[in-house]
Homo-oligomer: A and B are copies of this chain.
Amino acid sequence: MLFHIHMVVRQPSDLADDEFETLKAAEKNRAQDLMRAGKWRHLWRIAGKYENFSVLDVRDPDELNDIVRSLPLFPYMSFQITALCRHPSSVRDDDT
């Protein structure tokens, strides 16, 4: 089932730059693993912001919770989470 997530990264002012770069590299690896596994279906950057819109395909809210908490940048992000369902007007196979 699909969940839409608006992720906002808050750049921590008391985190050393290299430590933040390390976290971002780990985040990228984790995100790409989840994309290749089909769990993270879409990922778009919001132009000009440290934010993204994502669509996750999970078994249930527990898996959604596990994935979000496994992200290396989790402590520095806020999340707005919305359950999606099939739109009766969609003609695309991959909108489900």
Contact = CB atoms under 8 A, between A and B. Distances in A.
Most buried by B among A11, A27, A28, A65: A65
Contacts of A36: 91
B87 A64 contact: no
Prevailing SS type, chain A contact patch? mixed
B84 A81 contact: no
B46 A83 contact: yes
A65 B68 CA distance: 24
A5 interface: yes
In the complex, the 7 A-B pairs of residues with the closest C-beta atoms, listed nearest first: A47-B61, A48-B68, A61-B83, A45-B87, A44-B84, A47-B83, A62-B85
Interface of A: 1-5, 11-14, 27-28, 31-32, 35-36, 41-49, 52-53, 55, 60-62, 64-65, 68-69, 75, 79, 81-92, 95
